Amino acid sequence: MACGLAADPAFDQIALAVSRAALDPSAWLSVVREFGQLFPGLRSQIIGWDITQENSIPQYHDGYPEEFVTSYLAHFQYRNPWIPGWSRAPVGKVISDREVLSEADLVRTEFYNDWVKPQEDMRAGIGVVLFADASRSFMLGSNIPMRYLASYQDDVHQLLMRVTPLMQQALEINRTLLGLRLDAFSLRLGIEPLGAAVLVLGEGRTLIHANDLAQELLAAGATLRLSVRGRVEFVESAAQAQLDRAARPTAGAGPVTFVASNTAAAPLVRAVPLAGRAAEGLNLGAIALSQRPSLVLILQFPAANRGDRSAHLRQATGLSLSEADIALALHDGLSLAEIADTRRVSIHTVRNQVKSALSKTGSRRQADLVRLVEQMRQGGGAH
């Protein structure tokens, strides 16, 4: 045996690496490598199974010769016969590969003969699904060469059972921290993140991350949905055209703002391209499934009390309905061009209404008008 591998020193070594990965999602590679340190010759990986696109993506891996990693990405990520069974496995339960695919079925495949067998016949495997939702799952798995099977099998199984709750908690911390980073990202754009649906998309509009409200919207399918290929799309064709425009890789492209539909309760959508430090700052780690984040979608629903805010502002200042709505939109962080776009009027009309609102409220600049709205939101009166 490699060591007393169910004993505390081995567990502590893995647990420390998992703790680091909880706070730094890019450190999951060190978790995978720890298994190789404890079990020399073991092949380990965190693999993502994209259900909508039916491919398996090795997010982090250790012990596999580079040429086999290359051949997997080029050919076998769509032909791994273990993955369909693993995608249906219960979350959090440590099981063997033989429980998801019989050995007799495995050895008849091209995958076994051209990829598994040449790597010291590593047909034995143990793993656990750490997380799964409607479109994808994450699994930590280990392939054991047959010559190590008797020495490693029980110890790997026991260690995985002990460390699985920690890894699941670490992934949840990753998601929580990403949510906080996305909140900060929204605030830098002048968007209140409370009550907003936020999605991170990869190239081709593939879904990388969705917060709880965004997942509810995708599940309902009335505003947003996932295509059969796992791409995020709007139900309304006009909104979809705007999303397509925002997703085009144009150098220096800024945010695109539009409404999701013509209904009164439709959310306002801010599509923000990601580039350079903005993408790096989100630090997606294992959540990204090896995808490069390219777009953040932020959907803001009309506040339940927006009509009350408008009425209160009009009563206190004498603004018209349009002027009050534009003042509220400026307070919510929209530019004049975005207000014109969402209201379907010319920017000249918006500028004239802003000038009128400034005059009626005694404000010298737009910032003064925004401060007035914020003061009234917090309960103060108009001066």
Concatenated DSSP letters for 167-220? Answer: HHHHHHHHHHHHHHHHHHHHHHTT---TT-EEEEEEGGGBEEEE-HHHHHHHHH
What mean pLDDT is predicted for residues 139-151? 93
- Please determine, for residue 56, whether its predicted confidence score (pLDDT) is greater than 60: yes
In this prediction, residue 47 carries a pLDDT of 85
In this prediction, residue 323 carries a pLDDT of 87
In this prediction, residue 71 carries a pLDDT of 92
Dump pLDDT digits (tens) for 61-114: 999 999 999 998 888 888 889 988 888 889 999 999 999 999 999 999 999 999
Report for 46-50, 166-170, 291-295: range of highest mean pLDDT: 166-170
CB half-sphere exposure, 187, CA atoms < 13 A? 7
In this prediction, residue 308 carries a pLDDT of 61
**Of 358, 361, 325, which Cα lies nearest the Cα of 340?**
325
φ and ψ of 333, to 5 deg: 100, 5
- How does the average pLDDT of the chain come out, rounded? 83
In this prediction, residue 129 carries a pLDDT of 92
Q: Between these two residues, 259 and 144, which has the higher pLDDT value?
A: 144
Question: What's the predicted TM-score (pTM) here?
Answer: 0.68
Dump pLDDT digits (tens) for 115-139: 999 999 999 999 999 988 766 788 8
Strands 136-144 and 232-234: unpaired
In this prediction, residue 307 carries a pLDDT of 57
CA 256 to chain centroid: 20
Measured distance CA(239)–CA(82) in Å, rounded: 39
Q: What is the CA radius of gyration of the chain?
A: 26
Dump pLDDT digits (tens) for 237-291: 989 998 988 888 665 567 888 888 877 678 888 898 887 666 666 777 766 666 7
User: Domains of the chain (ranges plus CATH)?
Assistant: 8-174 (3.30.450.80), 189-300 (3.30.450.20), 306-377 (1.10.10.10)
pLDDT band at 19 (very low <50, low <70, confident <90, very high): very high
